[in-house]
């Protein structure tokens, strides 16, 4: 029970990210600068924690640096930028958070050629549900133009970037612990994001209370704390169930969107969101349960 609560709590904290993003962009920072703020402060907190608790976890092999560039730059920086920019373009939180949760589908598609994982009926069904769900959410069926093509591309980009963390991380999990992987991911992300964003020229602006409080919030409340909770939760719960419980994130984001961004929800949009989340659940079913379902369906 405690493990499940930890996972859900992590999802809730991730779900309120748009509030801090909106506050920082309201303080004059660009989406890329918000990414830089998040990863820089998170990296500092994580490194400081390991220096105090276990310095041995800060040791890595130089030949593994390209993999950390994958998790840090190609995943964390890329998906955060796409996600934050999508929030700005849409002017809300629900749809960007939903599009971010297409990540499991991207992981499935990338795993076919990279890891030789089979394409099962379950995976095809999840892909179909995702595509129909996205069509409903974006208004493709009704022609209502609910979401602009740019917003959709940014949202899907965030899902792809998020998926790349699992792809690159798969090569790292047998070599390092979770704390080491996460810490160096954020360190590498900061090394790229800070100079690319020009954040150094806005440090004075960052120290103002209007920016400093949400900056600390997005790093501590929406990054380090949920990571610790999620990691703690995984100790007592299988990864598939954890992924299902974490889908509370887009639900919370939808509530945030309705209350804080005044997003409107139609029947089609709600149905589309339900289909995408159902696809995540299907992809996360435990192996034995999946086998029984597929045998019954066959």
Mean of all residue pLDDT scores within the chain: 88
DSSP for 272-292, written as a single string: HHHHHHHHHHHHTS-HHHHHH
At residue 294, does pLDDT exceed 60? no
What pLDDT shows up at residue 144?
A: 57
Which residues are CB-contacts of 237 (< 8 A; sequence separation ≥ 6)? 3, 4, 7, 245
At residue 233, does pLDDT exceed 90? no
At residue 222, does pLDDT exceed 70? yes
Report the 10 Å Cβ neighbour count for 212: 14
Q: Are 178 and 122 contacting, i.e. CB atoms less than 8 angstroms apart? A: no
What pLDDT shows up at residue 238?
A: 73
Report the 10 Å Cβ neighbour count for 76: 28
Report the pLDDT averaged over residues 180-198.
95
Place 115 in a pLDDT band, splitting at 50, 70 and 90: confident
Report the pLDDT averaged over residues 178-187.
93
Report the 10 Å Cβ neighbour count for 209: 8
Q: What is the percent of the chain with per-residue pLDDT over 70, rounded to a whole number? A: 93
At residue 80, does pLDDT exceed 50? yes
Structure tokens belonging to residue 159? 């899902």
Q: How far apart are CA 53 and CA 150, in angstroms?
A: 44
What pLDDT shows up at residue 35?
A: 98
Nearest CA to 228 out of 20, 10, 8 is that of: 10
Collapsing DSSP states into helix, strand and coil, what is residue 191? helix
Q: How far apart are CA 247 and CA 267, in angstroms?
A: 20
Report the pLDDT averaged over residues 77-96.
94
Collapsing DSSP states into helix, strand and coil, what is residue 180? helix
At residue 241, does pLDDT exceed 50? yes
Given CA atoms 132, 249, 99, 237 in this order, what sign does their dihedral have?
negative
Half-sphere exposure of 216 (CA within 13 A, CB side): 6
Q: What is the percent of the chain with per-residue pLDDT over 90, rounded to a whole number? A: 59
Q: What is the CA radius of gyration of the chain?
A: 19
At residue 298, does pLDDT exceed 70? no
Nearest CA to 206 out of 197, 215, 198 is that of: 215
At residue 118, does pLDDT exceed 90? no
Report the pLDDT averaged over residues 149-159.
94
What pLDDT shows up at residue 247?
A: 86
Which residues are CB-contacts of 176 (< 8 A; sequence separation ≥ 6)? 57, 60, 64
What pLDDT shows up at residue 289?
A: 46
Report the 10 Å Cβ neighbour count for 62: 6
Structure tokens belonging to residue 14? 């991730």
Q: Tens of pLDDT along 257-273?
A: 989 998 888 888 899 99
How many angstroms from the chain centroid is the CA of residue 284? 16
Q: Tens of pLDDT along 130-151?
A: 999 998 888 766 655 568 889 9
At residue 245, does pLDDT exceed 60? yes
Report pTM: 0.88
What pLDDT shows up at residue 34?
A: 97
Place 295 in a pLDDT band, splitting at 50, 70 and 90: very low
Q: Which of 88-92, 253-257, 262-266 has the weakest average pLDDT?
A: 262-266
Structure tokens belonging to residue 185? 């991911």
Q: Tens of pLDDT along 17-71?
A: 999 999 999 999 999 999 999 999 999 999 999 999 999 999 999 999 999 999 9
């Amino acid at each position: 029970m405690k493990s499940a609560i930890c996972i859900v709590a992590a999802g809730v904290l991730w779900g309120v990210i748009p509030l801090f993003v909106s506050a920082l962009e309201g303080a004059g920072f660009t989406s890329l600068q918000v990414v830089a703020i998040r990863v820089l402060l998170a990296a500092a907190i994580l490194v400081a924690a390991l220096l105090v608790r276990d310095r041995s976890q800060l040791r890595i092999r130089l030949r593994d640096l390209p993999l950390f560039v994958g998790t840090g730059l190609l995943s964390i920086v890329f998906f955060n930028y796409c996600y934050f920019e999508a929030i700005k373009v849409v002017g809300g939180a629900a749809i960007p958070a939903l599009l971010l949760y297409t990540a499991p589908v991207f992981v499935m598609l990338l795993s076919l050629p990279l890891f030789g994982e089979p394409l099962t009926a379950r995976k095809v069904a999840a892909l179909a549900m995702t595509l129909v769900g996205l069509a409903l959410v974006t208004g493709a069926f009704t022609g209502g133009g609910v979401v602009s093509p740019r917003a959709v591309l940014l949202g899907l980009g965030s899902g792809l970037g998020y998926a790349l963390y699992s792809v690159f991380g798969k090569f790292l999990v047998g070599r390092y612990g979770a704390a080491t992987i996460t810490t160096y991911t954020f360190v590498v992300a900061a090394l790229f994001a800070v100079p690319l964003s020009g954040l150094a020229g806005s440090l004075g602006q960052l120290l103002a209370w209007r920016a400093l409080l949400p900056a600390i919030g997005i790093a501590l409340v929406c990054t380090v704390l949920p990571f610790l909770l999620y990691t703690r939760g995984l100790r007592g719960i299988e990864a598939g169930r954890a992924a299902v419980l974490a889908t509370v994130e887009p639900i919370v984001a939808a509530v945030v969107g309705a209350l804080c961004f005044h997003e409107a929800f139609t029947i089609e949009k709600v149905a589309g969101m339900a289909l995408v989340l159902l696809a995540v659940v299907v992809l996360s079913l435990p192996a034995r349960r999946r086998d029984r379902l597929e045998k019954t369906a066959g």
